[in-house]
A and B are shown apart, each in its own frame.
Chain A
Amino acid sequence: MLRDITLGQYYPSGSVIHRLDPRVKLAGTLIYLITLFAFRSVEAYVVATAFLAAMICISKVPLKFMMRGLKSILFLLVFTSIFNLFLVPGETVVRIWKLKITDAGIETAAFMAIRLVYLIIGSSLMTLTTTPNDLTDGLEKALGPLKKIRVPVHEIALIMSIALRFIPILMEETDKIMKAQMARGADFESGNLIQKAKNMIPLLVPLFISAFRRANDLAMAMEARGYHGGEGRTKMKPLEYRRRDFAAYLILFGYVAAMFGANRLGIVPALF
């Protein structure tokens, strides 16, 4: 069961988007999400859809992979849609028993659903095209200015990359402990939720102890190799903007401008 968890679902296809600087992709995703929630008109959403579709095409990642993320929010999606449909006040369109569906309700539900779906697909696109490593590097560099207000950016990025390195190791270890405990008669499958949680104790205790031991070893190994914080450190693979990154920023700017333009057109003022 723990083996199913995958972090950093990178899909290598070597497209232009894959090769972009992670900062561009981070900024792009953030801007895209903001525009999704800032605008609320049919025209703007046509632009947003076209932009997302174009990016998916360029990325060469099969649509199937993007859709995977939707499964996890399916419940949320249905839930918010139903609430919006019935609870937003407006002119009644359909009446079922005591509940009524309003025009404004339909409109809000539709927009919310589209927003959520695009949000998931948009951020999946980023994680599918960026290796976890690039992502942490990008974050470290992008959050660099926060160092001035004493945010330990370098440390956070290091913690993230160490976590990424140890996830598969700890996963393997969990598997090993699980098998060892099962061989001693431990039961991880049956019982209700509370029972199951209690049964996890013989798994979690050795796992934690081993994780602490590893952390201790790693800290010693890092010190032995001269690690003394981010001060005076050089970077082996520093992030540098290339021409394609500037082009990507231009396209992003173009997209935002198009969103503003489309929103102003006002051909379709509202759905109803």
Chain B
Amino acid sequence: MEIVKARKLAFEYVKLDEEGRVESRSRAVDDVDLDVQAGDFIAILGHNGSGKSTLAKHINAILVPTEGTLFVDGKDTRDESKLWEIRQTAGMVFQNPDNQIIGTIVDEDVGFGPENMGVPREEIWQRVEESLKAVGMWEYRSHSPNKLSGGQKQRVAIAGVVAMRPKCIVLDEPTAMLDPNGRREVIRTVRELNRREHVTVILITHYMEEVIQADKVFVMEQGKIVMRGTPREVFSHVEELKSYRLDVPQVTLAAHELQKSGIPLPDGILTIDELVEELRKVREA
């Protein structure tokens, strides 16, 4: 079943001058078709200004398309009466962990979403416990968010979304402000959620290492989806990715350089183990 379905989706930012006349228009998202199956782990890659964050905000109905349509779990995001249902279906985690935590205590923050939905009290506590345990932050439930590390804060933010029991979680560059350890923590948490709870994950990022685990990768450039496929398919086009100012994982790049200098390696090597295995085969042959 498709949880997110976009058809010819376009979004325009309109800049007005002081008198309210249109000064300029810029198409942040342009003619995007996107299908995400329930239970998938999707990654959207793109350089700064490629429109990936704008696309993400559509899935949560924070923005509505200027052209085209977007259906989230069968509901049109332009239908205002379905707004809260859509936000409940598709949760969203933002980039800055500090600016999305509302509560002064971890458990209160996780309970914020369910409180807004009017969930009965006993169930809120149950959900808070479940979601904090799912992200491994249960021991910190009575801490102040200010005392946590960036990665921990981001996991609390994820728990806050999980507590709303969404079918789909959109993460808009959740690791951009974190150190490598925090980044790993967050990505591991997201992957676990996807595997164990079968939550659809849409991860928006510009770190290549994070998308290797994804089922499908979409590359965006100037508002358009320019590449799509499995990580292996996408990463086998090293030169094309470079033209979109994106890096490939170091191992893939090393394999590509070796390939260019004449060593017969296959395209799209993603892990160190794979490269070692392939190099061993080459030596034996």
Interface residues of A (CB under 8 A from B): 132-133, 161-162, 164-165, 168-169, 214, 217-218, 220-228, 232-238
Contacts and interface: CB of A to CB of B under 8 A. Distances in A.
B98 A226 contact: no
Which A-B residue pairs are the 3 nearest by beta carbons? A221-B100, A217-B99, A236-B111
Contacts of A164: 104
A164 B145 CA distance: 12
A48 B128 CA distance: 45
B164 interface: yes
Contacts of A234: 114-115, 118-121, 124
B100 A218 contact: yes
A165 B94 contact: no
Contacts of A165: 101-104, 145-146
B62 to A, nearest CB: 6
A233 B117 CA distance: 6
B116 interface: yes
Contacts of B118: 232-234
Interface in B71-90: 84, 87-88
Contacts of B60: 224
Nearest to A167: B146
A161 B62 contact: no
A162 B99 CA distance: 11
19 contacts: A132-B104, A165-B103, A165-B145, A169-B146, A214-B96, A217-B94, A218-B99, A218-B100, A225-B113, A226-B87, A226-B88, A226-B113, A233-B116, A233-B118, A234-B124, A236-B108, A236-B115, A236-B121, A236-B125
Contacts of A235: 115, 121
Contacts of B99: 214, 217-218, 221
B207 interface: no
A47 to B, nearest CB: 38
Nearest to B102: A222
B42 interface: no
Contacts of A217: 94, 96, 99-100
Interface residues of B, number: 38
Given A221-B100, A223-B87, 17 more contacts: A132-B104, A165-B104, A165-B146, A214-B99, A217-B96, A220-B94, A221-B92, A221-B94, A226-B84, A226-B164, A227-B112, A227-B116, A233-B115, A234-B118, A236-B108, A236-B115, A236-B121
Contact of B91 (A161, A222, A225): A225
B176 to A, nearest CB: 13
B204 interface: no
A168 B100 contact: no
Contacts of A228: 84, 116
Contacts of A132: 104
Contacts of B87: 223-226
A162 B96 CA distance: 16
B55 to A, nearest CB: 15
B105 interface: yes
Contacts of B102: 162, 165, 218, 221-222, 225
A132 B144 CA distance: 12
Contacts of A168: 146
A170 B125 CA distance: 30
Contacts of A233: 115-116, 118
A234 B114 CA distance: 8
A221 B160 CA distance: 11
B161 interface: yes
